[in-house]
Amino acid sequence: MKILVCGGAGYIGSHTCVALAARGHDAVIYDNFSNSSPVAVQRIAELAERPVALVEGDIRDAAKLAGALQGVDAVIHFAAFKAVGESCEQPLAYFENNIGGSVTLLQAMEAAGVANLVFSSSATVYGDPDSVPIREDAPLRVTNPYGRTKLVVEDLIGDLCAARPGFNALLLRYFNPVGAHPSGRIGEDPGGIPNNLMPYISQVAVGARDCLSVFGGDYPTPDGTGVRDYIHVMDLAEAHVRAVETLRPGFGCQAVNLGTGQGVSVLELVRAFEEASGRKVPYRVVARRAGDVAMCWADPSRAAELLGWRARLDVRRMCEDAWRWQSANPAGYVAG
């Protein structure tokens, strides 16, 4: 299949493009490089062992999307702003980019006759859950603007599928992606101070930052720090391949959790990283971060049933691969 990957040069998108190529699919990367690097595209091609098509464009550019969608069989939509804390400070920017851009993409897909979509959603749509593990039928009650953009786009896609029976979509609700490609050639390269825990830990370990800030030590959890379901990005990439291969006429719109089903606290992840890397990670506990919840992990059984997919890689492997990427690329993506 020929698949347009919006946000394909980003963290999860880049790994998914490599996984698509390994399955014989042709990925077309669509990215404006606002939170990614052209170097990632070069490295995707290196790992895929073949050229990868690139269209440099913004998700809100209808004309550019129209051209990029020609001859495409399906779309995987990653393109979005994605920092919870930043979304609380800049909600309008998140609404305009994440929701407005998604509407533009859906309109362009409809005009081009492309009827299969895999959407990068998030476990943030569940907000602060009543209980864990979280099933797909749990209440949806977001606690931050980022999560609200994901939920609104889920609803928009569901409405389009209801109005256009030929349109099919999978809404993939990720928990917490971490790790990197085992080659160390592609990985997570956030700009500035990382919003996500693993790159923050790895930057401290490599010496790029002095100390890890642990946001909140007074949560109702065993060690007081937030508990999350960390999933290896390579497992996540494989789930996207399974998802795009699962879509078929009459599929409709369905939501699926992507996680391991196991909760790991911030301090547990720090200790696992120290063991995997052989480096100490000094940390200090600071105030809670706006929009964060205490505990969040998945019931991944629906993904197993619908996609035939289960996460395979454990926390040790997540830390080893993250460290391999960070130690080989201490400044992130640079040419070469």
The per-residue pLDDT for range 238-289, each reduced to its tens digit, is 999 999 999 999 999 999 999 999 999 999 999 999 999 999 999 999 999 8
Q: How many CA atoms lie within 13 A of 294 on its CB side?
A: 12
CA distances (Å), 158 to each of 99, 146, 292, 303, 326, in order? 14, 19, 26, 19, 39
146 annotated active-site:
yes
Residue type, 140: L
Centroid of chain to Cα 278: 27
The segment with the largest mean pLDDT, out of 42-46, 85-89, 126-130, is 42-46
**Residue showing tokens 């953009």:** 149
Residue 125 lies in a domain: yes
Q: What is the DSSP letter of 124?
A: G
Looking at residue 192, what is its pLDDT?
A: 80
Looking at residue 289, what is its pLDDT?
A: 86
Looking at residue 119, what is its pLDDT?
A: 99
In the chain, the DSSP E strands lie at 2-6, 26-31, 53-56, 74-77, 116-122, 168-174, 176-178, 212-215, 227-228, 230-232, 253-258, 264-265, 283-286, 295-296
**Residue showing tokens 């923050």:** 200
Per-residue exposure over 300-320, b if at least 16 CB sit within 10 Å of its own CB, e if not: bebbeeebebebebebebbbb
**Residue showing tokens 């699926």:** 256
Residue 32 lies in a domain: yes
Residue 114 lies in a domain: yes
Average pLDDT for 307-328: 98
* Angle (deg, nearest 10), helices 266-277 and 197-206: 40
> Residue 91 pLDDT > 70, yes or no?
yes
Tell me if the bond preceding 177 is cis, omega within 30° of 0: no
pLDDT in tens, 119-136: 999 999 999 899 999 999
Residue type, 130: D
> Residue 336 pLDDT > 70, yes or no?
no
Structural domain harbouring 158: 2-179+231-259+298-311
Q: What's the CA gap between 61 and 66, in Å, rounded?
A: 9
Residue 31 lies in a domain: yes
Structure tokens at 178: 């971490």
Please give the tally of structural domains in the chain: 1
Residue 109 lies in a domain: yes
Q: What's the CA gap between 122 and 124, in Å, rounded?
A: 5
Residue 98 lies in a domain: yes
Looking at residue 26, what is its pLDDT?
A: 98
Given the residues 11, 30, 126, 146, select the one marked as catalytic: 146
Residue 274 lies in a domain: no
- Which residues neighbour 314 within 8 Å (Cβ) at sequence distance 6 or greater? none
Residue 82 lies in a domain: yes
pLDDT exceeding 90 applies to what percent of the chain? 93
Average pLDDT for 299-322: 98
Average pLDDT for 83-106: 96
Looking at residue 194, what is its pLDDT?
A: 86
pLDDT in tens, 183-214: 999 999 988 888 889 999 999 999 999 999 99
CATH of the domain at 84: 3.40.50.720
Tell me the CA end-to-end span of the chain in Å, nearest whole number.
30
